[in-house]
């Protein structure tokens, strides 16, 4: 959707900080929220305020003609197309971000998209609601929710994941040349979130993960 809830924002930014990408594709750019946050995180916070000093390349992909001044301000390029039609152009990036996107695509084509993305790029981050709900925005057919995702749907990939406020899950996928996540991260996260007292208690689960990693 063109905008999104705040619940998973910091969690996604923590993953971005860990991955330190220098090239990012923001799929489903909407009004440009993630373009702005990524530019701040990857350039402005490091003192590179002027466009001619930016080192991160940030590309947005958006199927619907949303109008926003952020498109020309924070992105290097915005591609107006269905991501399924331009998958060949998403190749060689450090990170592909799909925040509130995957649930708008039928599961079969969406899994095919993820397979291509991890084969062609270093890392992929997916954020999607934990529960299915209907949605309609701007009379845009692409804003309908048509699939519901659980962590089992990502079982073929190497991933790590966390939940955010019991409302969304953020899944980090390892792609071509990725150092993180690993199969060990996948096994640990899956085991942790299967515990009934931690399943949707995201803060407690992440605290346990951090404690285990420190030891």
Amino acid 130: pLDDT = 82
Amino acid 1: pLDDT = 46
* Six-digit token string for 59: 């590309």
Average pLDDT, whole number, for the chain? 88
Least confident of 68-77, 156-165, 198-207: 198-207
Amino acid 172: pLDDT = 97
102 or 191, which is more confident? 102
Which residues, other chains included, contact 94 with Cβ-Cβ below 8 Å and sequence gap of 6+? 19, 21, 22, 23, 24, 121, 122, 123
Amino acid 119: pLDDT = 98
| pLDDT value at 67 more than 60 | yes
| pLDDT value at 26 more than 90 | yes
Q: What is the mean pLDDT of residues 129-154?
A: 69
Give the separation between CA 109 and CA 54, rounded to whole angstroms. Answer: 35
Instruction: Kindly state the DSSP code that residue 154 receives in the 8-state scheme.
Output: G
Burial letters for 92-118: b for 16+ Cβ neighbours within 10 Å, e otherwise? ebbbbbbbbbbbbbeeeebbebbebbb
Q: What is the mean pLDDT of residues 64-80?
A: 92
Give the separation between CA 41 and CA 74, rounded to whole angstroms. Answer: 12
* Six-digit token string for 128: 């999607």
Amino acid 176: pLDDT = 97
Amino acid 135: pLDDT = 53
Instruction: Kindly state the DSSP code that residue 63 receives in the 8-state scheme.
Output: S
Amino acid 200: pLDDT = 66
**Would you say the pTM of this structure is higher than 0.95?**
no
Q: What is the mean pLDDT of residues 179-192?
A: 92
Q: What is the mean pLDDT of residues 39-54?
A: 97
Measuring CA to CA, which residue among 209, 159, 162, 157 is closest to residue 180?
159
Amino acid 215: pLDDT = 66
* Six-digit token string for 203: 């803060």
Is the CATH code 3.40.50.150 the one for domain 9-214?
A: yes
Amino acid 136: pLDDT = 59
E strand or H helix at 169: strand 168-174
E strand or H helix at 208: helix 202-214
CB atoms closer than 10 angstroms to residue 148:
14
Amino acid 5: pLDDT = 65
Q: Where are the alpha helices (DSSP H) in the chain?
A: 9-19, 33-42, 70-74, 107-120, 183-193, 202-214
Measuring CA to CA, which residue among 11, 25, 210 is closest to residue 128?
11
| pLDDT value at 140 more than 70 | no
| pLDDT value at 132 more than 50 | no
């Amino acid at each position: 959707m063109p905008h999104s809830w705040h619940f998973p924002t910091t969690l996604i930014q923590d993953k971005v900080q860990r991955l330190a990408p220098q090239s990012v594709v923001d799929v489903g750019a909407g009004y440009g929220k993630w373009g702005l946050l990524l530019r701040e995180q990857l350039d402005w916070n490091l003192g590179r305020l002027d466009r001619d000093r930016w080192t991160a390349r940030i590309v947005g992909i958006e199927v619907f003609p949303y109008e926003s001044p952020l498109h020309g301000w924070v992105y290097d390029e915005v591609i107006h197309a269905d991501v399924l039609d331009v998958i060949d152009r998403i190749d060689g990036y450090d990170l592909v971000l799909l925040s509130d996107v995957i649930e708008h695509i039928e599961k079969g084509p969406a899994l095919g998209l993820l397979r291509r993305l991890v084969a062609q790029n270093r890392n992929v981050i997916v954020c999607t609601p934990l529960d299915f709900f209907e949605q309609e925005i701007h009379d845009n057919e692409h804003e309908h929710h048509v699939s519901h995702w659980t962590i089992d749907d990502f079982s073929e990939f190497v991933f790590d994941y966390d939940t955010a406020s019991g409302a969304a899950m953020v899944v980090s996928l390892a792609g071509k040349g990725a150092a993180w996540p690993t199969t060990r991260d996948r096994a640990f996260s899956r085991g942790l979130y299967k515990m009934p007292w931690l399943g949707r208690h995201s803060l407690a689960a992440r605290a346990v993960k951090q404690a285990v990693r420190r030891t």
